[in-house]
Amino acid sequence: MMRGKGIVNRLAAIAAALLVAGPLHAEDGYALWLRHAPPEGEGRSRLARLGGLIVANNPDHPTVALAMRELDDGLAQLRGGAAAADGAATGIRFDCHDPAVARGGAFRVMADKASLRIAAGEPVGCLYAAYAILRELGQGVDPAKLALDEAPAMPLRMLNHWDNPDGHVERGYSGRSIFDWWHLPEKLGPRMIDYARANASLGINAVVVNNVNARAFMLEPRYIAKLARLADAWRPYGIRVFLSARFSAPKDIGGLATADPLDPQVQAWWRAKADEIYAAIPDFGGFLVKANSEGQPGPQDYGRTHADGANMLAAALGMRGTVIWRAFVYQAEDTTDRTMQAYAEFQPLDGQFADNVIVQIKNGPLDFQPREPFHPLFGAMPKTRLMLETQITREYLGQATGIAYLAPLWKEVLDADTGRGGPKPKTVAQIVSPVGMAGVANTGSDRNWTGTHFDQANWYAFGRLAWNPSLTSEDIAREWTAQTFTRDTETVRRIAAMMLGSRDLVAQYTAPLGLAHLMGTGHHYGPSPWVCDLERPDWNPCYYHRADKDGIGFDRTAKGSGALAQYAPSIAAQWADAATIDEKYLLWFHRVRWDHRIKGGDTLWERLAAEYAWAEIGLRGRIQSWEGLRPHIDAERHAAIAADMARELKDARWWRDASMAYWQSVNGLPLPAGARPIPESLEAYRARTFPEAPGQ
């Protein structure tokens, strides 16, 4: 039975009650989607009949006890701090070892007038059920009509942190790292528990705690002890810890002369290291490895393959854990199209990886751009366990400025037909669902966790899609909005509409018509299409847009790099003709003249100018829409979001002006009729520097 509450929970319930008592009160966003704000009127009376008595057949299990407490506390907050109605409360019963329910987090929720029954095949399913009940109630569902039967589509639902032990976050835009390695293991801050709660509420069950550009000393005993403290704290929430491992660690900290994966001494060192970790963390998840990419060490340093390296680590872990081997690779000496290199290196290795190896593939073949076609490796390695890697943090999409709701981007990939997989070709979601999905985390030390309030929606959407990739972007936006801001139906509709179009607006002013990688070097923030002189050709925006007086775009057809041939023939055929291709991918696959006619009759130059203009119009309209929602949003968050939107509009104008100035410098064409003048010279835009930009 769960009746008493600590002072923290009572204060939280009182705070929740204040949300419906008179004017809206300021919120800082720390509670995320777990605010559990009370409904008004009939909704509150219905909730008064729910709860009061919560029992379980194994209440002493840490995860079951946690599920009971989370549900009890959440219901108290939803009731505005009021107790359940005497004599009329619906009893709640957890059965967390029901043999009729699958293991792995599945659960069922059944309601009638007198009881609410939660059944799961194992304790973590009960925890997920508790959060699912609160999610439904948070959207205004009648508790008497609760009926849920869910199971996660993907077994591994993982966050990858690009956090460094010194607190700096690579590509992080919401403050410093949430991990306090200096004070661990003796001190574990409450933020670590709140982080685990948020993840568990979405079904996220794995966390890689350090940067893929890993430091070898993270494998030393003192860091294993720190990692063990995190693992102990997160275990009741169903979260396993993983570690990014530096491939050269046997040399860096092990005293060996080599890290050759076929060397017996190297193999023995990794076996001993794995045994050491499992002695401290019995449920350690395994290693994430970035190898032979961007200068990181790897098996190719010794003439070995990615499979050789991954399988050596897999043997060290045994079936206790998993090696996740990233397919994001490109070499300085490789002069082929960078988007082709991962396919060329990995596809021939299909079937050569050990059973406990996962190859982790980015959503697109380049690097988390605002818009890319899906990665050609999906569907091309049927004998290999493949996992989708996404980026929750917005490295190339404005960072923590404005709004860029990424569920539509991820849905484009998940729903993409690969053209491969037999008579009925498989989608990317069907290929990765047996394995999992990873997201580069966007959390940081900012009070609201993610830098902007709307970036919380990307963390939320990632978890929901990893649990169920068939959910729609709109459904996720609506349920997040109802829990985060308000249940008012019209306000939810308007906010969801703003969210759904936001990523397209960012793509319009940063990557129109299939352009890519036009961002500044280092911080990846503002426009720098003029950068052509960096050490590596594929670090330069010029490498990707290839603009000159004759035309613009990267020819990836058979007449160009041939990258199109890496896709199944049925898919390649859709993108092979510049006259019929979806224009969102035109300049990704084709180089065309400035006077090339786009569908509708405009020239490419005219349409390019229009894309920038349409983005500005869309952003101004969104600002007006947000202003109209002022009465429905607390003042603190409304003002913060309004400021973010104003900054994004300013950035969009900068992107347009600087980009158009550069395109004009190479094509010599006048601005299309009706286009507003460019206020500054190209030289002025090129002279801008941003040493204060985050994430460098």
d(CA 113, CA 177): 47
pLDDT value for 13: 42
pLDDT confidence band for 87 (50 / 70 / 90) = low
Per-residue pLDDT tens digits for 305-360? 999 999 999 999 999 999 999 999 998 777 899 999 999 999 999 999 999 999 99
Per-residue pLDDT tens digits for 366-406? 999 999 999 999 999 999 999 999 999 999 999 999 999 99
Given a contact cutoff of 8 angstroms between Cβ atoms, the answer to whether 326 and 293 are in contact is yes
Q: DSSP 3-state assignment of 113?
A: coil
Mean of pLDDT over the chain: 94
Given a contact cutoff of 8 angstroms between Cβ atoms, the answer to whether 78 and 134 are in contact is yes
Per-residue pLDDT, averaged over 154-159, amounts to 98
Burial of 347: CB neighbours in 10 Å, binned 0-12, 13-18, 19+: middle
Q: DSSP 3-state assignment of 361?
A: strand
Which residue of the set 150, 194, 232, 294 is catalytic? 294
Please indicate whether residue 548 or residue 20 has the higher confidence score (pLDDT): 548
- 570, 571, 576, 578: CA torsion to nearest 10: 130
Which residue of the set 260, 308, 395, 648 is catalytic? 395
- Concatenated DSSP letters for 261-307? TT-HHHHHHHHHHHHHHHHH-TT--EEEE--SSTT---GGGGT--HH
- Nearest Cα residue to 235 out of 270, 193, 174, 274: 193
What domains sit in the chain, N to C, each tagged with a CATH number?
7-150 (3.30.379.10), 156-469 (3.20.20.80), 507-554+591-686 (3.90.1330.10)
The label of the residue with tokens 């920038």 reads: 612
pLDDT value for 16: 43
pLDDT value for 334: 79
Query: CB neighbours (10 Å) of residue 686?
Result: 16
Given a contact cutoff of 8 angstroms between Cβ atoms, the answer to whether 90 and 50 are in contact is yes
pLDDT value for 366: 98
Burial of 163: CB neighbours in 10 Å, binned 0-12, 13-18, 19+: buried
pTM of the model: 0.95
Amino acid letter for position 278: Y
Question: Is 479 known to be catalytic?
Answer: no
pLDDT value for 14: 37
Q: Which H or E run contains 621?
A: helix 604-628
Amino acid letter for position 103: R
Residues 6+ apart with CB under 8 A from 523: 690, 693, 694, 695, 696
Beta bridge partners of residue 50, listed in sequence order? 90
Question: Is 455 known to be catalytic?
Answer: no
pLDDT value for 86: 63
pLDDT value for 268: 98
The backbone region for 323, taken as left when phi is positive above 0, alpha when psi lies in -120 to 50, beta otherwise, is beta
The pair phi, psi for residue 11, each rounded to 5°, is: -65, -40
pLDDT above 90 as % of the chain:
87
Question: Is 395 known to be catalytic?
Answer: yes
- Nearest Cα residue to 460 out of 439, 431, 486, 446: 439
Per-residue pLDDT tens digits for 2-56? 333 443 344 344 344 334 434 577 799 999 999 999 987 777 778 877 777 899 9
Tokens at 103, concatenated: 């293991």
d(CA 270, CA 292): 19
Given a contact cutoff of 8 angstroms between Cβ atoms, the answer to whether 25 and 19 are in contact is yes
Given a contact cutoff of 8 angstroms between Cβ atoms, the answer to whether 146 and 133 are in contact is yes
Does position 477 have pLDDT exceeding 60, yes or no?
yes
The pair phi, psi for residue 117, each rounded to 5°, is: -110, 130
Which residue of the set 367, 412, 455, 657 is catalytic? 367
pLDDT value for 551: 98
Distances (CA, A) of 369 to 365, 514, 546, 588: 9, 10, 17, 11
d(CA 35, CA 138): 9
Amino acid letter for position 242: F
pLDDT value for 441: 98
> How many CA atoms lie less than 13 Å away from 259 in the CB half-sphere?
22
Given a contact cutoff of 8 angstroms between Cβ atoms, the answer to whether 24 and 447 are in contact is no
DSSP state at residue 388: E
Does position 1 have pLDDT exceeding 50, yes or no?
no
pLDDT value for 694: 77
Which of 89-93, 270-274, 633-637 has the lowest average pLDDT? 89-93
pLDDT value for 169: 95
